[in-house]
Structure 1
Amino acid sequence: MFARRLLPRRSQLVTPRSRIHQLIASRAFSTTELPNGIKLAYDLHEPSNAKEGSSRNAPIIFMHGLFGSKKNNRSMSKVFARDLNRPVYAIDLRNHGDSSHDPRHDYTALAEDVELFLQHHGFKNSTLIGHSMGAKTAMAIALRQRVPVANLIPVDNAPVDAALKSDFGKYVQGMHRIEEAGVKRQSEADAILKDYEESLPIRQFLLTNLIRTPEGTQKFRIPIKYLANALDNMADFPFNDPDEARFGGPTLIVRGTKSHYVADEMLPTVGRFFPKFEVVDVDSGHWVISEKPEEFRNAVVDFLQDKE
């Protein structure tokens, strides 16, 4: 195991937006229908010099966290496509974004969806990046060994059973209240959510799930009931014996130093599941990517720039 603290440095993350748009070819979101009946929506971000068929070569699969969507990773996906010259698929996991809703929501089901997605597209040498729920999904895929995975980047989550912060339960309560109130403006929804979350950026993140109904009221596009019932599942991990499941590929754990999800005492377990892992510490809370985007970008690019 190799651990290092990531120090800020000058990066290309601040490239003007117009320049990024010149360098990256982004498409409107697409949908892949899987054999299990689930439809996964995704955004594909390709380097501007991508050749025909190059999207099959060493793709990066980017997975969001609980209550998130592919939109959360749009800017970072464009940066990775540019800096690493690789296609990036930002996926909506089931029950999130524009993907299918289903009562079952656990890491085995999430992993199976992404495995079927990789098989459908014929990907052979993928890098999996996931934050929080997406991190555990990525780790489960790597350990299940149903599809070839080249390397792995879990962000602020560990392969252990660990209770979610109570905040997630409060978010569900707040979302229920918003729908019951029949609000018509996002500002009204935000006023209700203040009782459950003080942080404006986190409230804005949660409210990206709001859509306007034909009646003019605001409603969450995610199935709140399904996800509320799945909170205990999101605290679990489907593997508990590193002697029975191990991923031997390069693995980078990116963790927030102000977060408890990857505590020092968990690292021996991480090492047994992922013997070729290293750790990068970022001075942030759980929302590593949005809190410290340049530091996160530096960590990932440094790790992947010599890997195909």
Structure 2
Amino acid sequence: MIGRVTVRTAAAAVRQHGSSSRCLPAITSTLLLRSIGGRSSFSTVKDTVPLVYDLHEPAKPVADRQTSPIIFMHGLFGSKKNNRSISKVLARDLGRYIYTVDLRNHGESPHHPRHDYSAMADDVAEFIVKHNLKNPTLIGHSMGAKTAMTVALRDPSLVANLISVDNAPVDARLESDFARYIRGMKKIDESENVTKQAEALELLEPYEKSLTIRQFLLGNLHRPKGSKVHKFRVPLNIIGKALDHLGDFPFKDPGKVRFEKPALFIRGTKSKYVPDEVIPIIGQFFPRFELVDVDAGHWLISENPEAFRQAVIRFLEPKE
């Protein structure tokens, strides 16, 4: 136990929830949709966008910014701003440089009509190569987690290890909340009267009662140059069209591709994104994984930052 965190190695997790080497349980196999002859549907045509990032520098670095850095990826409707505070803390504690990135169609990064995990993974792989980063750790939450997993499985030589936060390498139905959020955000975007954050909060309330979530979504608002009216940075039409596929995972057959390096999966005990039934699949794709349960929901980094911090440090600290 780390505080209110439960830690299990791959072997222990698989013993509890089923062997990773045997056939998948029936309830799990329903999540593996659209198998394409056992092959990954990863794109062979690269059409990347340059990712905007913030660099968090440790006061006492253990290496330069190109050696063993951390690349931190946000979830859907998020941005690099979401991970600013925890990245500063982790940079301090680990002595490592941390790049918090805006994934495509989010934050300050460019917009592109294609929005899927293969394309986002291409962007991250190009970011690693462009910045000449050696042995980086990938940390991703939700959408960022599936992006990180895709990079690790496709290009394992680019990555030292992986931390997936509340997501798993399976096809699963995306929660309907996101489609509702899009409708509410479009209502704001179509209005010519939203000049204050309070007005946007009020317009969004019929679509989401939680003030915390509404404030998170409105983190995407900005005032275009020369305008008094607030608009969203994220291209809502592009994201809206992509929603049907953002629950997917581009690799379908763990017998064809594996990431043989260390991986940490952190899940919220109050979240539905990583049910026990998918743990054997995690073990097949990531045979050296550890599983950590945190007392939190899907937004566990903000809900329980100390438990998240401890889990990450335990995993990344040099082993004697």
TM-score, normalised to structure 2, is 0.84
Partners of 1:269 and 1:146 lie apart in 2 by 18
- Segments of 4+ in structure 1 off by > 6 A? none
SS at 1:228 equivalent: helix
Q: Residue 82 of structure 1 is aligned with which of 84, 92, 101?
A: 92
Q: Distance in 1 between matches of 2:91 and 2:120?
A: 24
Question: How big is the shift at 1:220?
Answer: 0.1
Any conservation in 2 of the 1:115–1:147 contact (CA below 8 Å)?
no
Structure 1: which amino acid aligns with 2:93?
D
Q: For 1:59-98, what per-residue CA distance to the aligned partner results, in whole angstroms no more than 9, with x for missing partners?
A: 0000000000000000011011100000000000000001
Is 2:284 the partner of 1:272? Answer: yes
Aligned to 2:80: 70
Code of the aligned partner of 1:7: G
Whole-angstrom CA distance in 2 between matches of 1:137 and 1:202: 22
Aligned to 1:257: 269
1:287 aligns with 2:299: yes
Distance 1:283 1:242 in 2: 29
Q: CA separation in 1, counterparts of 2:140 and 2:128? A: 15
Q: Which one of 7, 11, 16 corresponds to residue 3 of structure 2? A: 7
- 1:140-168 Cα deviation digits (max 9, x unpaired): 00000264211100000000000111111
Instruction: Figure out how many residues of one structure are paired with residues of the other and give that number.
Output: 278
Distance 2:146 2:190 in 1: 32
Matched, 1:41 2:91: no
Gaps of 5+ in 2: 6-45
Contact 1:6 1:281 (C-alpha < 8 Å) held by counterparts: no
Q: Tell me, yes or no, if structure 1 residue 233 matches structure 2 residue 245.
A: yes
Q: Is 1:189 matched with 2:185?
A: no
Q: Which secondary structure state, in structure 2, belongs to the residue aligned with residue 244 of structure 1?
A: coil
Q: Quick check: 1:6–1:282 contact (8 Å CA) kept in 2?
A: no
Give the Cα separation in 1 of the matches to 2:208 and 2:155.
Answer: 38
Match 1:203 to one of 210, 214, 222: 214
| Matched ranges for 1:86-97 at <5 A | 86-97=96-107
Question: What RMSD, in angstroms, separates the aligned Cα atoms of the two structures?
Answer: 1.7
Match 2:111 to one of 94, 101, 108: 101
| Code of the aligned partner of 1:230 | A
Does the 8 A contact of 1:115 with 1:146 survive in 2? no
Structure 1 stretches of 5 or more lacking a match? 10-34
Distance 1:44 1:284 in 2: 28
Higher strand share goes to which structure?
1
- Alpha-carbon distance in structure 1 between the residues aligned to 2:79 and 2:48: 20
Equivalent residues in 2 for 1:101-250, closer than 5 Å: 101-145=111-155, 147-182=157-192, 183-213=194-224, 214-250=226-262
Q: Determine the C-alpha separation between the residues in 2 that align with 1:307 and 1:273.
A: 24
* Identity score, percent: 59
What's the CA shift for 1:6? 4.3
The residue number in structure 1 matching 2:10 is none
Amino acid at match of 2:165: V
Distance 1:50 1:302 in 2: 18
Matched AA of 1:136: K
